[in-house]
Amino acid sequence: MKRRCDYACHSPEHTMARRQFLGVMGAGGIVGGLGAFTTGQASDTLAKQQKRVVVFNMHGGLSQLESFDPKPGTDTGGPFRSIETSVPGIRICELMPKTAKVMHHLCLVRGVNTSEDDHGKGTYMMLTGRRQTPAAEYPQIGSVMAKALADEANPVPGHILITPGGGGNRGNEAAYLGPRYSSLVVGGGKPPQNTERPKDITAEADTLRQDVRRQAAQKFLNRRRTAITDAYTHSYEQALRLMTKRDAFDISGEPQKEKDRYGDSDLGRQCLLGRRLLENGATFLQITHSNYDTHNENFNFHLEQVPEFDHAFAAFIDDLAVRGMLESTLVIVLSEFGRTPGINLYYGRDHWSRAWTVTMAGCGVAKGAAYGKTNPNGTEVTDGQVDHAALFHTYLMAVGLDSTESFDIEGREVPMADPSAKPIKAILV
């Protein structure tokens, strides 16, 4: 029986961050401006290379000590051992035996220090590469990648957020890039709602209906064209294209042995759905795994959560590698922060942003590598310290983008990434 998640801190920021993360603000996601274009000339080449990005967001704050940077036998290490991996010299927590076998595909960044222990602010920083400020709202990584990499003619949306249950609504992560680059929220292994032509309307009749709609819309646009009307028109056309790819969202036809390989869990089904969407041309996916805010009973909850992740994640990485897709797919495992080395009186770990780990795999990053180092009990970074801004630059560079370029927002240049930061060149290949 799944343990109820009642151990998390109950701060307003945590509630707000989770709500925003799951995309329940989708109704407001169709309002905003369009007209942002990158200044580079990489779009055609990137389209041919079919670069893709997948983010695993371990929402709540995955413990680095119970995953990718264990410290067994120390005062902070907890009860779990470390185990060998497929890369000699790199050890991870014993809760991840399947991930250990695919370590030769992974790159651990163990020196992350963002100095932000707030859920909402930490999530914002990790997904935008910027600190939150009242002066500006920045697009999240999914919207940036969709703008820079996605083929506009692709029937599969360029920015997809996969959560248990899904819903088919739109997120609001695109900021000044405009609503067409916000996420479509899906999940449950079923096609999005309302993407099937009603049975009492024939294909011929539907074609005529759409023609009439387009003619009426064009007349209106000729007189009153705005960013909002463009977004409205784009949403209609994207929905029509999406109807032709409904099967890509349906995992019910997958063989049982494939479902078993990913695990009988929400995350397993999300990962299997993610693989299908990548095979059908998806550009950016964000896959969610929650319940990591372990202020109480950290070890019991990680004993449940981490093996579930291990099962699905290792199968996902292995499948991409076998299919030859990992070379063109950047996979990122992140959270808003890690957990404290110190163990509190409730056998929990609290928020800790000063020494934790982000994991990557795939195109543009070193394989079988561990960059950065923390001290013996994990309380500070001793080598290769990086932050959210350096990581964001690195993600862009890994898929072949120039992270120093800018978006043109109505004649104003806005840098794609924080201009005061640089990528982690040591892990880029």
Tens of pLDDT, residues 137-152 = 999 999 999 999 998 8
* Residue-level pLDDT at 262: 97
| Strand 369-371 with 106-112, pairing | parallel
What per-residue string of b and e applies to 371-400 under the rule 16 or more CB within 10 Å gives b?
bbebeeebbebeebbbbbbbbbbbbbbbbb
User: 237 and 243 in contact (C-beta within 8 Å)?
Assistant: no
Domain ranges in the chain are: 14-20+31-190+250-427
Confidence at residue 370, expressed as pLDDT on a 0 to 100 scale: 98
Confidence category of residue 14, pLDDT binned at 50, 70, 90: very low
Inform me whether the pLDDT recorded for 31 exceeds 60: no
pLDDT at 20 over 70: no
Q: What is the CA radius of gyration of the chain?
A: 22
CA distance 173 to 183: 7
Contact predicate 360/427, CB 8 Å: yes
Q: What 3-state class would DSSP assign to 230? A: helix
Task: Write down the pLDDT at residue 199.
Answer: 77
Instruction: Tell me which of 95-109, 199-213, 372-386 is least confident.
Output: 199-213
The CATH homologous superfamily for domain 14-20+31-190+250-427 is Alkaline Phosphatase, subunit A (3.40.720.10)
Of the chain, the percentage scoring pLDDT greater than 70 comes to: 83
**Cα torsion for 146, 148, 154, 159, to the nearest 10°?**
0
pLDDT for the residue 244: 67
Mean pLDDT of 67-72: 98
pLDDT for the residue 236: 63
Contact 239, 195 (CB under 8 A): yes
Higher pLDDT, 10 or 221: 221
Q: Report pLDDT for 226.
A: 67
Average pLDDT across the chain, whole number: 86
Quickly count: other Cβ atoms within 10 Å of residue 95's Cβ: 24
Amino acid at 168: G
Contact, 249 vs 192, CB < 8 A?
Answer: yes
Helices marked H in 280-353 — which ranges? 298-322
Element (H, E) at 160: strand 159-162
Q: At 38, which helix (H) or strand (E)?
A: strand 36-38
The whole-number pLDDT of residue 214 equals 75
- Please name which of 338, 295, 283 lies closest in space to residue 141, comparing C-alpha atoms: 283
Nearest to 275 by CA among 305, 254, 306, 260: 254
Q: What are phi and psi of 398, to 5 degrees?
A: -65, -30
Rounded distance between C-alpha atoms, residue 230 and residue 216, angstroms: 14
The tokens of 247 are what? 């099967």
Amino acid identity for residue 132 in this structure: Q
Lowest-confidence region among 73-82, 105-114, 372-381, 407-416: 407-416
Question: What pLDDT does residue 48 have?
Answer: 47
One-letter amino acid for residue 67 of the chain: S
Location of structure tokens 């070890």: 299
Q: Are 395 and 365 in contact (CB under 8 A)?
A: no
309 or 215, which is more confident: 309
Q: Looking at residue 86, what is its pLDDT?
A: 98
pLDDT at 219: 77
pLDDT at 218: 80
Give the position of tokens 């990528």. Answer: 423
- How far, CA to CA in Å, does 337 sit from each of 20, 30, 355, 396? 17, 30, 9, 21
Which pLDDT does position 245 carry in this prediction?
Answer: 77
Name residues whose C-beta falls within 8 Å of residue 352's C-beta, 6 or more positions apart in sequence. 61, 117, 337, 338, 339, 340, 341
Position 232 scores a pLDDT of 65
CB-based contacts of 273-277 (< 8 A; 24+ apart in sequence): 273/162, 273/186, 273/187, 273/189, 273/249, 274/54, 274/162, 274/316, 275/316, 275/319, 275/320, 276/248, 276/249, 276/251, 277/156, 277/160, 277/248, 277/249
The answer to whether 367 touches 107, Cβ cutoff 8 Å, is: yes
